[in-house]
Amino acid sequence: MAVINGDKLLMTKYAGRSLPQWVLISGFVETGETLEEAAEREVFEETGIRIRDLQYFGSQPWGFSDSVIVGYTARLDGPDEIRLDRKELAEAEWHLRSRLPDELTDISIAHEMIESLRL
């Protein structure tokens, strides 16, 4: 999930993982959910942020977990204050789209999404 707030992008760092890079919000679809419902739920659960204008970005197979990654973009809907779920995330911040981190490798759709949102 790439959440956009004007000239900013919401980026996170996972809690309890060895991946130190800034990444986008991610999660899994629960039984009975649509992809869009899962995207909205994951963003809210992990950051307290509400989203609107959900747009499909693309998808890719993910062999590491025998699953499919589906990418969406959305706009902030309401206050931009982050309420971090510390079990899921170590950090979450709004990053200027003109100064997004260059940390991700190009093996995932997340990299493609971040690059497409860079100003």
Q: Return phi, psi of residue 93, to 5°.
A: -150, 155
CATH code of 2-112, in short, is 3.90.79.10
d(CA 8, CA 39): 19
d(CA 91, CA 13): 5
Domain spans of the chain?
Answer: 2-112
Local confidence pLDDT in tens for the 119 residues of the chain: 999 999 999 999 999 887 778 999 999 999 999 999 999 999 999 999 999 999 999 999 987 788 899 999 999 999 999 999 999 999 999 999 999 988 767 778 988 999 999 98
> Which pLDDT belongs to residue 26?
93
Write down the residue that tokens 């994951």 correspond to: 42
Would you say 55 and 73 are in contact if contact means Cβ atoms under 8 Å apart?
A: yes
